[in-house]
Structure 1
Amino acid sequence: MSNGIFGIGLSALQAAQRGLLVTGHNISNTATPGYTRQQVIQSTSDARATGSGFIGQGVQVDTVKRAYNQFLSRQVAQAGTESSQLETYFSQMKQIDSLLADSMGGSGLSPALQDFFGSLQEMATNPAEVASRQSMLSNAEMLVRQFHSMNSQLNEIQEGVNRQIENSTALINTLGAQIAKLNETIHMAESSANGQPANDLRDQRDELVAQLNDEVRATVVQSDEGYSVFLGGGQPLVMGSQASQLTARPSAMDADRLEIIHVMGGSSIPLKEANLDGGKLGGLLQFRNEIIDTVRNGLGRVAIGLAGTFNEQHRLGQDAQGNLGGDFFTTPGPVVAASTENTGSAVIDAEIVSYRDLDVSDYRLSFDGANYTLQPIRNGVEGTVQTFTTFPQTVDGVRLNLASGTVAAGDEFLIRPTAKGAGQIAVSVQDTDKIAAAAPIRTSAPTTNTGTGRISAGTVNAPLPTDPNLQQAVTLTFTSATTFDVSGTGTGNPASVPFTAGGPITFNGWTVQITGTPQPGDTFSIGPNTDGVADNRNALLLGALQSSNTLAAGGASYRGAYGQLVSLMGNKTRELEVTAGAQAALLTQTRALQQSEAGVNLDEEAANLLRYQQAYQAASKVIQTANQMFDALLEITR
């Protein structure tokens, strides 16, 4: 009887002791990241059958169990990876918002545009003054420097993103290797403990998975070998005790752009960025695709559109030396990058043929052996594919042509019409005399005319190139009130040309209007502008470009196109601020729900401590009683 009582008391003592140990372990790990509350699972020992019935044999401790809820843990991981992605995206976005907001201030792009066109208006008022011309050149240089400055800041932001992508990739590799190692360690530990769970090691593994989800979205599948971890596109990062690697390397299409490579078993496979969502890495990739390229292309379109359209009008004017105007700005051209994996020798040429139709898209050109496919990429979104079989082809104001070589099946090219615009725009004119403020033609009418006809100053017609006969002297002689003859054209002398008062009269690349009623014998002359130093007609036309809708298919001016970009980025920043805040709140709620079940509650543990202490004392009393009974039996037998 005493052995039974002793055994029961001892089992109770051991159960209480283990309860005290687990409770103390819980209390000491209250602040340990990833720790899950543990609890002792105990059951009744098998009863012993007697003639008087089944007599209990005490208690046994079956295991120590984690208060782990797999469903809640997955919810926390899901909310965490979403929150990390949005927070990373938002933190990067604030740099862009600050860059563009500053550019709207006193020393940014908008003020620089305003100052440039303001100095142009001043020169139009005083075209003969060298100081006015020099002021215009100086403000043009300041505008160009502002474009360069913003482009340099974009480059710095992109370099920072590349470094963070490399760091995130390295951390993912480290976490994957640690999870694989823990899989092996847990398997060995639990095998040696007859399958009892290694709770603390499992907590460490779950914490590593949570940290991994902070970097990239990861899916966990549990098996006998431990955790198998897969990335968004199904690529295995961890399989049992084996871990693969990710590496960041320059893209085959763009050396300034890093792509993520999955390395496993000697094979290297580029991963689609759309499959690497979630976490910091997903936020960085999304920011790069949707924002950096969009801002760079948007700035580039303004720079190229400004340079190109300004040059077109400047070439229609005449400088202070009497020559036709040249290019005022250096206009950057499209960038065409051939994939380093191409097997053909083709060189694709791209040329801007319409600044008005320029878009902010990049284009991926590929060849399958029979057909070419051209896919626009705008704001990180792939657009509708265009298919064709021969060159040249024109898309969004850009003409594509096969310059040389042969295209092989599978070859790819990346075409970026405006990417280098802000970084490569420059001022071509350095001499104030080279500013084409005047018009190259001048009109006149003798005082001997008897009619009431009046001739306009005339305009030079676009598009370029300028007519070679533009500045040749031409005389219009009226043979009646409704017809006139042309002489001196150099390319023929049309006779009896119909005349309508106020209607356009176009020859040799110029257009004039004659109003009133000319009489037979009246003459009007159009010839070179031999004294155009004080002429401001082309300067006025250049100044009018400021408010003209010359970009975005005629839907925006220079400042308007830039304002659209600023508005787009401002709205995106605000959107991310709201969504990132909401996701952070959801993460907090989800963690609180998980911790309510899995976290350590000190009040509860204090109560458990008292309960197990009392149980320990009671078990000790049972053993003491058994000892007294045994001593009493010994006294009887003496």
Structure 2
Amino acid sequence: MSNMLAIGTSGLNAAQLALNTISNNISNSSTTGYSRESTVQTEQVGATIGNLTIGGGVNVTAVQRAYNQFLTTAMWTSNSGLQGSTTYNDLATTLNSTLSSSGNLQTSLDNFYTSFNTLAGSADSSSNRLAVLGSASSLASNFNTLAQQFDQQQSSINTQVAQTVDSINSTASSIAKLNQQIVQAGSGSSASNALLDQRDTLVNTLSGYLGVSTSFNTDGSINVFTNTGQSLVSGSNAYALSTGPNAYDATTTDVMDNTGTDITGKLSGGTLGALLTYRSNVLVPAQNQLGLAAVGLASSVNTQQSKGLDLNGQQGAAIFSVPSPGVSASSANQGSATVAASISDPSALTGSDYVLSYNGSQWNLATTAGQSVALTTNANGSLSAAGLTFNVSGTAQAGDSYKIEPTRNAASGISVSMTDPNGIAAAAALTTTASSSNTGSAAVSAITVTDPTHTNLLSSATVSFPTAGSYQVTDSSGNVLSSGSYSSGQAITANGWSLTLSGTPAAGDSFAVAANTSGLADNSNALSMAAMSGTGVLNSGKTSIVDAYANLTTQIGDAGSQASSDLTVQTALNNQAVSAQQSVSGVNLDQEASNMVQYQQAYQAAAHIISTAQTLFSSLLTAIQA
């Protein structure tokens, strides 16, 4: 009877523990991160009587949580992808909105080029000239505004990077503390289960900030690493990340590990990975492309200006000014060298940033992505590559490096440098006159300025043909500037200009070339300015400024579209991963209700066993007393 009483008591206790566990499941059915628990029961070894073994009841050996490491890890990975895609999409959407609400740069470009067409209709009109300067100012302002808004997003990303790193450190510290508590609590207890749930929730939160990988120790603690292996948590120790200025640019926030090593380029996944990837793959290229358009605009307009004469009879001065390429020395440099960069060929610019480094014997150039770029050493000691010229002064030490940003600040710094509307060079710089004694059929078809910087561009010159098959160019003093054989249609060059004839000259024919000082109301150069809206000035002369801006809007639009699509995919993947994990670890209230009825009946049955044992014992006592 004592055995029967013990068996009934063990069953009662087991049913009570199961009912408590079920009650806890039901109470936490809506608790984030909670894993369904169940009791683990084993048969208790009983006594042996003769050749018979009678069971000794039941033992509850553990309260275990429903858990699948593979499904949980998959959920963490999908959460990292979802949070990263959400952040990336938000940033791309903001950039697209910025582009559409910052003032229509496309319209400003169209208005600017159209103003030269209007000027060509009346080249000496002061109102038309003022309109050109007004449209130029509006265009520069739109460049400035858009660039400033790009800069604001850059600043916002810096803030978000710092905040996210703080959140990562706080979460990692909490995981380390939970590791310690879990080790102390031991496995199988309800307290341990609750701590494990809390830790899994924190790892899931951490995965939303940054892509992570994990490993487990035999004592139940977990190790957490970034996707590329930097340790964040090891047992009860947490290793904090930090933020600091980029080695070249103090306005850019980078991420360092606990040793101070810059790991910005090694981080991926989650909010932080998205911030860093978006900055390097979308925002910085957009800033550079916008700056490239500004450089191309200023260079092409100013160059064409210099090919004409203004109302004062002077060679056209610059309408726009843009900042020089940015050069930033690494904070780790040991030498005293300084580097100055200038743009020598705008058509060769790529929109890339570069790192110019010294290895102790020579300078090397590479894009910030690591692609090597060939450097040319010029006769004056300067270096050239990718449309840029570098002048180095001072002494560099091996390992010194400089970041070159050819166009990053051009859009924010472009401005109108011309204030006098009479300075607009609407007229052609040169005019030609055929000698009245010419006998051949040759006529000037075109004279173009090829080198507006030539000191003798506006000096008078004569092109003569000693024979029908030869030519010579002389200055006003009779000095021969160039000569040679001549064939029909051949370009004749001198003093920075190029002359092309139609027809055939006869021996003794000549043509005078002089500054167009008597034709200042001429509109030739104004028409050339207007035609530049479709003229290729970038990408080796293949891309116009209008096309360059259209390409930028397409580039940003594509980034936004891709981000939106990726968010849709990642949302679906995360939903699948969460659903799979919850199918194992989640609480099903219907199932819990069924289990409660089952264990309620078991409890009642165990209580009946105890009652029966008591009745039998009482009967035995009564029989003995009788």
The one of 391, 395, 409 equivalent to 1:401 is: 391
> Offset of 1:307 from its aligned partner?
0.5
- Inter-partner Cα distance in structure 1 for 2:614 and 2:537: 104
Provide, for residues 208-234 of structure 1, a one-character-per-residue CA deviation record: whole Å limited to 9, x for no partner: 001000001122221126112112222
Report the equivalent of 1:37: 36
- Matched with 1:557 is 544
Q: Deviations along 1:183-236, whole A, 9 cap, x unmatched?
A: 111222228x9x887100110011100100000112222112611211222221
State the AA in 1 paired with 2:370: E
Structure 2: distance between partners of 1:108 and 1:405: 45
Note the C-alpha offset of 1:494. Answer: 6.7
Tell me the residue number matched to 2:324: 333
Q: What corresponds to 1:99 in structure 2? A: 98
Q: C-alpha separation between the residues in 2 aligned to 1:440 and 1:386?
A: 38
After superposition, the Cα gap between the structure-2 partners of 1:494 and 1:564, relative to the gap in structure 1 and judged at 3 Å, is closer
- Match status 1:189 vs 2:177: no
How far did residue 436 of structure 1 move? 1.1
* Secondary structure of 2:62 counterpart: strand
Aligned to 2:111: 115
- 1:491: Cα distance to partner? 6.8
Check the 8 A contact 1:339/1:412 in 2, yes or no.
yes
- Equivalent residue for 1:410? 399
- SS for the counterpart of 1:470 is coil
Residue in structure 2 matched with residue 276 of structure 1 by the alignment: 267
Alignment of 1:380-459 (within 5 A): 381-384=369-372, 386=374, 392-402=382-392, 404-445=393-434, 452-456=441-445, 458-459=447-448
Is the contact between residue 330 and residue 427 of structure 1 (CA under 8 Å) also seen in structure 2? yes
Q: 1:352 maps to which residue?
A: 343
Aligned to 2:250: 255
TM-score scaled to structure 2, two decimals?
0.94
| CA-CA distance at 1:318 after TM superposition | 0.8
The answer to whether the Cα contact below 8 Å between 1:370 and 1:389 also exists between their aligned partners in 2 is no
User: How far apart, in 1, do the equivalents of 2:437 and 2:374 lie?
Assistant: 63
CA contact (8 A) 2:446 2:501 kept: no
Could you say which residue in structure 1 is the equivalent of 2:82? 83
Name the CA distance, whole Å, in 2 between partners of 1:117 and 1:389.
Answer: 38
Question: Pairwise mapping of residues 52-71 of structure 1 onto structure 2 (< 5 A)?
Answer: 53-71=52-70
CA contact (8 A) 2:373 2:385 kept: no
Query: Deviation at 1:508?
Result: 2.4
Instruction: Tell me how far 1:102 sits from its aligned partner.
Output: 4.6
Structure 1 residue 510: Cα displacement = 2.5
- Correspondences of 1:282-297 after superposition (within 5 Å): 282-297=273-288
Which residue of 1 is the match for residue 521 of structure 2?
534
Residue 405 of structure 1 aligns with an amino acid whose one-letter code is G
Residue 231 of structure 1 aligns with an amino acid whose one-letter code is: T
Task: Say if 1:371 and 1:387, in contact at 8 Å, map to a contact too.
Answer: no
**Are 1:136 and 2:125 an aligned pair?**
no
2:19 and 2:273 map into 1 onto residues whose CA distance is 45
> What does residue range 164-175 of structure 1 map to in structure 2 within 5 Å?
164-175=160-171
CA separation of 1:239 and 1:387: change in aligned 2, threshold 3 A: farther
Contact 1:336-1:416 within 8 A present in 2 as well: yes
Once the two structures are superposed, what CA deviation does each residue of 1:53-81 show, in whole Å capped at 9, x if it has no partner? 11111111000001111111111111111
Show CA shifts across 1:504-562 (max 9, x none).
33332223334445566655322222223311111122222211111012221111122
Q: Distance in 2 between matches of 1:605 and 1:187?
A: 30
| Structure 1 position 202 matched with structure 2 position 189 | no
Number of residue equivalences:
622
Kept after mapping to 2: 8 A contact 1:35/1:599: yes
| Counterpart residue number, 2:226 | 231
Q: Taking structure 1 as reference, are residues 38 and 139 closer, same or farther at Cα in structure 2, changes over 3 Å only?
A: same
| Aligned match for 1:162, one of 152, 158, 164 | 158
Q: Alpha carbons of 1:7 and 1:319: their partners in 2 closer, same or farther (altered >3 Å)?
A: same
Q: Which moved more, 1:60-69 or 1:449-458?
A: 449-458
Partners of 1:485 and 1:213 lie apart in 2 by 77
- Could you say which residue in structure 1 is the equivalent of 2:559? 572
Q: Secondary structure at the match of 1:545?
A: helix
Rate the CA distance shift 1:59–1:453 in 2: closer, same or farther, 3 A.
closer
C-alpha distance in 1 between matches for 2:276 and 2:504: 70
Give the Cα–Cα distance (whole angstroms) in 1 for the partners of residues 407 and 324 of structure 2.
7
Aligned partner letter, 1:459 = T
- Where 1:268 maps in the other structure, the secondary structure is coil
| Structure 1 residue 472 displacement after superposition | 2.5
Change (3 A) 1:236 1:519: closer
Which residue does the alignment assign to 1:26?
A: 25
Note closer, same or farther for the CA distance 1:5–1:123 as it changes in structure 2 (3 Å cut).
same
Write out per-residue CA displacement over residues 250-294 of structure 1, whole angstroms, 9 at most, x where no aligned residue: 11111111111112xxx42221x3421111000111001101110
* Aligned equivalents of 2:104, 2:385: Cα separation in 1: 32
CA distance in 1, matches of 2:615, 2:499: 130
Distance in 1 between the 2:234 and 2:502 partners?
Answer: 87
Q: How far, CA to CA, are the matches of 1:400 and 1:487 in structure 2?
A: 37
Unaligned runs of 5+ in 2: none
Do the aligned partners of 2:309 and 2:520 also contact (CA within 8 Å) in 1? no
Change (3 A) 1:200 1:631: same
What is the CA-CA distance between 1:371 and the residue it aligns to?
3.8
Give the TM-score normalised by the residue count of structure 1. Answer: 0.92
Question: Matched residues in 2 for 1:496 and 1:30: separation?
Answer: 96
Greater mean alpha carbon deviation, residues 503-512 or residues 42-51: 503-512
Cα contact 1:320–1:532 (8 A) shared by 2: no
Contact 1:372 1:389 in 2 (8 A): no
Q: CA separation in 2, counterparts of 1:331 and 1:39? A: 71
> Which residue does 2:495 correspond to in 1?
508
Identity, in percent, stands at 36
Q: Report what 1:150 is aligned to.
A: 146
Distance 1:75 1:492, change over 3 A: same
Task: Please give the alpha-carbon distance, in whole angstroms, between the structure 2 residues aligned to 1:182 and 1:491.
Answer: 95
Q: Tell me what 1:74 maps to.
A: 73
Q: CA deviation at 1:428?
A: 1.1
Cα shift at 1:388 = 8.3
Q: For each residue in 1:1-54, what CA deviation from the matched residue of structure 2 results, as whole angstroms up to 9, or x when unmatched?
A: 2x1111111111100000000000000001111100000001111121112511
Letter in 2 for 1:630: F
Residue 493 of structure 1: how far off its partner (Å): 3.9
In structure 2, how many angstroms separate the alpha carbons of the residues matched to 1:354 and 1:342? 29
After TM superposition, give the deviation of residue 564 of structure 1 in Å.
Answer: 1.9
Ranges in structure 1 where 5+ consecutive residues have no aligned partner: none
Alpha-carbon RMSD across the aligned residues, in angstroms, is 2.3
C-alpha separation in 2, matches of 1:461 and 1:489: 21
Distance across 2 between alignment mates of 1:531 and 1:73: 84
Are the counterparts in 2 of residues 225 and 240 from structure 1 also a CA contact under 8 Å? no
Distance 1:62 1:130, change over 3 A: same
Structure 2 Cα separation of the partners of residues 30 and 53 of structure 1: 46
Q: Secondary structure at the match of 2:186?
A: helix
Q: Deviations over 1:231-255 (max 9, x none)?
A: 2222211122221211111111111
- Counterpart code for 2:204: A
Specify whether residues 141 and 456 from structure 1 end up closer, same or farther in structure 2 by C-alpha distance, changes over 3 A only: same
Which amino acid letter does the alignment assign opposite residue 154 of structure 1? F
User: What is the rounded CA distance, in whole Å, between the counterparts of 1:176 and 1:439 in structure 2?
Assistant: 70
Take 2:24 and 2:423, find their aligned partners in 1: how far apart are those partners?
Answer: 85
Shift of the 487–629 alpha-carbon distance from structure 1 to 2, 3 Å rule, reads closer
Show the counterpart of 2:297. Answer: 306
Note closer, same or farther for the CA distance 1:320–1:159 as it changes in structure 2 (3 Å cut).
Answer: same
Q: Distance in 1 between matches of 2:619 and 2:294?
A: 106
Structure 1: how far apart are the matches of 2:478 and 2:17?
111
Question: What per-residue deviation string (whole Å, max 9, x for no partner) do you get for residues 333-361 of structure 1?
Answer: 21110011111111112111101111011
